[in-house]
Structure 1
Amino acid sequence: MRRLVLSLSLLIGACAPMAPESVSRAAGAATVAPEVSPPLASRFGAPDPVPPQASNAQIARDVIDLAFSLESGRALPIFTRFEGPVTLRVAGKAPASLGPDLDRLLRRLREEAGIDISEVQKGEANITLVPVPREKIRKQLPQAACFVIPGVSSWNDYRRAQNAGEASWTEVRERETAAVFLPADAAPQEIRDCLHEEIAQALGPLNDLYRLGESVFNDDNVHTVLSGYDMLVLRAFYDPALRSGMGREEVAAALPGILARLNPAGESVPDRRLAPTPRAWIEAIQTALGTSEPLPQRRAAAEEALRLARAEGWTDHRLGFSHFALGRLLVSEEAAQAETQFRAALRIFSALPDARLHEAYAAAQLAALALRTGHPEEALALTAPHEAAARRHENAALLASLMTLRAEALDALGRPTEAAAVRLDSLGWARYGFGPDWNGAAQMRRLAALDPAQGS
């Protein structure tokens, strides 16, 4: 039982959010490298995004910070976007899962964000998707799974621009072309996650902000598909009242009217006035959840992030995430202390209006610990309620992990028929989330390398 539960804990760790060090989407350590998507991989139904929970006043501040800064903190001089209809093309051989996920995303961008975007099969396009081997990406950006570059349409274009020092968003005055480089040999969910974040950044926000609790534009990687908040931000980016070349003050003056028109419900939401995130906390959390430092340094960084979060007086998801990050680094060797951290994170997330997905991650960690200590009833109570959040946010890896934990709890409670049904249902989600060659024994062997004690 201990060996099985340890494996389940590693499974949860594998799909837990990680903080990247690069300016693009962080590489997901848990994904397998399939060549094609099999028919057994499950798919989500009609999108059901959660409406924005923030006030319009907060969203206006967010849009300014997303539009006028890069992730590095470097300021951008003017507002930029594509002007007119946007075309998109896939270059080269695409993984089997890419087409359906891309169609779904483009439909959402048209319907929810109001962006005139369509796919073309040949010729020039504004945005070019370039599937390349994962190793090729990591040679350029070791901590990245995918990235977007302005002014280029191919890998050769990118390398030439890079060598010439021209691949910079700071030089863009109006967006005309961009290339998104995707890992062709990743699991379907990782490819889809890259589609969402990188196409959205090609279209709009170039920055990530840790204060955003309900957005893919957050380096904690909790959200993996564009949320209702994200679609509102993109709709504001492409509102007729804005145009490329506007300055920060011009955009700030226009946003209150834009958001009042697009999101009238946000006018009556109390303004939480979330403070900016200090660079010291960002660096501490990135070290804690990175892979480059030994475990003792990562644990010290997590403790420092929690200290800084408390010193800032935060009560939002950043405080909860600080507890969560520390818990992940304690779970393999100090289970009781890890549980304390996960319970603190769960309390904070549960009290927030925009943290259902965060809450599900914390509950999954606690469920794995409950099984490990022989409390299957608690594990069952922790997993079942959060599967709905994983489904709504279209996170197959998290959903499969929650279902696996629930199946083990049912087995331990002497309900093998129910357990077998849940386990069978989880298989399709696991094959989408972790890769189509997923199977229990092989996947557990792969995930053993993700034990925090091994520093990976």
Structure 2
Amino acid sequence: MKAFNSGPTLAVARSNGEVASDFLDLSFQLESGRALPVMSRFEGPVTVKVSGRKASVLDSELDQLIGRLRTEAGIDISRYTGQGTPSITLEVIPKRQLQALVPGAACFVAPNVSGWRDYKTNRRSPRTDWTKLQVRTQMSVFIPGDVAPQEMRDCLHEEVAQSLGPVNDLYRLADSVFNDDNFHTVLTGFDMLILRAYYSPELSSGMTREQVAARLPGLLARLNPAGGMGYPVATSPTPRSWKAAIETALSANESGTQRRKAAGQAVDLARAYGWNDTRLAFSLFALGRLNLGINSDVALAAFREAEAIYGALPGTRLQAAHMGVQLAAHALSLGNADTAIRIVDNHMPAVRSAQNAALLSTLLMIKAEGLEILGRDAEAHLVRLDSLGWARYGFGSDAEVGQRLLEIAAISPIKRG
């Protein structure tokens, strides 16, 4: 199994005015839409305790994350050593047990509880109400321990970040884990800037939105000089109708027909609102995914349009790669090996930079099949071996890895059937 080391973080590719607006919307609202009256954070050193049955890879991932939070976000965070009460309890539990209590959740964070048992007892009490939180003293993060290493790491990054800072997600963010599109799964340069601002000396727990907004211009100018003065810019909230359509399209509890219809509605709404941003592209991505094997013409047209939109926007190379893997697979199915390999090679750097092993291994598997079509068997063998190491990190079990290999091989015209 291969794994990533912490690499360089890309700089924030937008103005501090936009960052300021994002900071306010992330920090003073819940995903449900409820407003948060004040900002809350830990005041003082933060410690992290791990409990439950965990894979060995989780320890190294947590150490890397703590190192990044200390270096890039300037947070005084470390492992719990047994003194006092831990600030954050990271509890690893079986996925089935987690979803039996919170259906549909891959992982989550809860305030003012010391672990799973405490959360089950108090989850409907005022104690775990985010809107009543004034200062953070105790958080619990719950992640599944029986999933692929990449899924554990993804949960670790997002939920620890939310235990420290913003608890909202915004679909308009193209370069952040604070986005329900789930393209970015490790903390980005933008996320680290948000967390650095969260823990800056200019801010503190108990401040209102207006008080924070007044401090942000000078604060962001100090932390991110290239972004200019961070006077918040006006942003239009994403309409509830579009969010509802996307949520239905992504829901595993709906029928395929209902999900495809909802994805089409999301595309229509995005066009009606005049968007040509990540929200339209994500609507098209959902439409394409849901039409794979049902209507290939609709799927390919959606992926091509989404790739073009992502390709024209700054900081969206990873999103474009998710479209590229579908287009490379289509080229492979037609026997267009050179095209498939070219698409794979074009998207590989962005995928490696984003540390997405599942996507990286899939691209490498497609490339290996393309090389075999061209008669370059020795190269194909080496590329396929490379794909296996990343697949074990991205998909987990040997059975999952083998299934993905078979699925990709079945696309190739020289192996089909």
After TM superposition, the score normalised by the length of structure 1 is: 0.86
Aligned 1:94-109 pairs, distance under 5 A: 94-109=54-69
> Shift of the alpha carbon at 1:310?
0.9
1:160 to 121, 131, 139: 121
Q: 1:245 to 1:271 in 2, by over 3 A?
A: closer
> Shift of the alpha carbon at 1:437?
2.6
Are the aligned partners of 1:430 and 1:438 in contact in 2 as well (CA < 8 Å)?
Answer: no
Give the distance between the partners of 1:274 and 1:175, measured in 2 at CA.
29
Aligned residue in 1 for 2:15: 55
Give the distance between the partners of 1:126 and 1:69, measured in 2 at CA.
23
Give the distance between the partners of 1:330 and 1:102, measured in 2 at CA.
38
Q: 1:353 to 1:269 in 2, by over 3 A?
A: farther
- How far does the alpha carbon of each residue in 1:45-93 deviate from its partner, in whole angstroms, 9 at most, with x for none? 3422211112100110011011100000000110100001111111233
Q: SS state of the match for residue 91, structure 1?
A: strand
- How far does the alpha carbon of each residue in 1:409-434 deviate from its partner, in whole angstroms, 9 at most, with x for none? 11112211111110001111000010
> Shift of the alpha carbon at 1:272?
9.0
Aligned residue in 2 for 1:451: none
1:426 to 387, 397, 405: 387
Give the distance between the partners of 1:113 and 1:72, measured in 2 at CA.
27
Are the aligned partners of 1:397 and 1:434 in contact in 2 as well (CA < 8 Å)?
Answer: yes
- 1:189 matched to 2:150: yes
> 1:145 is matched by which residue type in structure 2?
A
Aligned residue in 2 for 1:326: 287
Q: 1:423 to 1:204 in 2, by over 3 A?
A: same
Aligned residue in 1 for 2:413: none
Give the distance between the partners of 2:153 and 2:307, measured in 1 at CA.
28
How many residues end up aligned between the 2 structures? 407
Are the aligned partners of 1:431 and 1:438 in contact in 2 as well (CA < 8 Å)?
Answer: no
Q: 1:75 to 1:271 in 2, by over 3 A?
A: closer
Q: 1:268 to 1:319 in 2, by over 3 A?
A: farther
Give the distance between the partners of 1:346 and 1:256, measured in 2 at CA.
34
- 1:88 matched to 2:48: yes
Give the distance between the partners of 1:114 and 1:441, measured in 2 at CA.
42
Are the aligned partners of 1:106 and 1:118 in contact in 2 as well (CA < 8 Å)?
Answer: yes
Are the aligned partners of 2:245 and 2:262 in contact in 1 as well (CA < 8 Å)?
Answer: yes
Most deviating of 126-135 and 332-341: 332-341
Aligned residue in 2 for 1:27: none
2:402 to 425, 436, 441: 441
- How far does the alpha carbon of each residue in 1:263-311 deviate from its partner, in whole angstroms, 9 at most, with x for none? 0111289999663211111111111122111111111100110011111
1:307 to 245, 252, 268: 268
Q: 1:305 to 1:270 in 2, by over 3 A?
A: farther
Aligned residue in 1 for 2:79: 119
- 1:406 matched to 2:367: yes
Aligned residue in 1 for 2:37: 77
**Which blocks of at least 5 consecutive residues in structure 1 are unaligned?**
1-40, 448-456
Q: SS state of the match for residue 420, structure 1?
A: helix
Give the distance between the partners of 2:137 and 2:280, measured in 1 at CA.
39
Are the aligned partners of 1:55 and 1:271 in contact in 2 as well (CA < 8 Å)?
Answer: no
Aligned residue in 2 for 1:19: none
Sequence identity of aligned pairs in percent? 51
> 2:76 is matched by which residue type in structure 1?
D
- 1:277 matched to 2:277: no
Aligned 1:22-421 pairs, distance under 5 A: 41-123=1-83, 124-267=85-228, 275-421=236-382
Aligned residue in 2 for 1:34: none
> 2:321 is matched by which residue type in structure 1?
A
Q: 1:334 to 1:373 in 2, by over 3 A?
A: farther
> 2:12 is matched by which residue type in structure 1?
P
Runs of 4+ aligned residues of structure 1 deviating over 4 Å after TM superposition are 268-274, 443-447
Give the distance between the partners of 1:361 and 1:164, measured in 2 at CA.
41
Most deviating of 203-212 and 44-53: 44-53
**Which blocks of at least 5 consecutive residues in structure 2 are unaligned?**
409-417
> Shift of the alpha carbon at 1:156?
1.0
- How far does the alpha carbon of each residue in 1:376-421 deviate from its partner, in whole angstroms, 9 at most, with x for none? 2211111112111111011111111111111111111221111111
Aligned residue in 2 for 1:12: none
Are the aligned partners of 1:54 and 1:269 in contact in 2 as well (CA < 8 Å)?
Answer: no
Give the distance between the partners of 2:323 and 2:267, measured in 1 at CA.
16
Are the aligned partners of 2:21 and 2:234 in contact in 1 as well (CA < 8 Å)?
Answer: no
Q: SS state of the match for residue 97, structure 1?
A: helix
Are the aligned partners of 2:217 and 2:230 in contact in 1 as well (CA < 8 Å)?
Answer: no
Give the distance between the partners of 1:424 and 1:385, measured in 2 at CA.
20
Most deviating of 429-438 and 300-309: 429-438
Give the distance between the partners of 2:379 and 2:230, measured in 1 at CA.
43
Give the distance between the partners of 1:372 and 1:270, measured in 2 at CA.
50
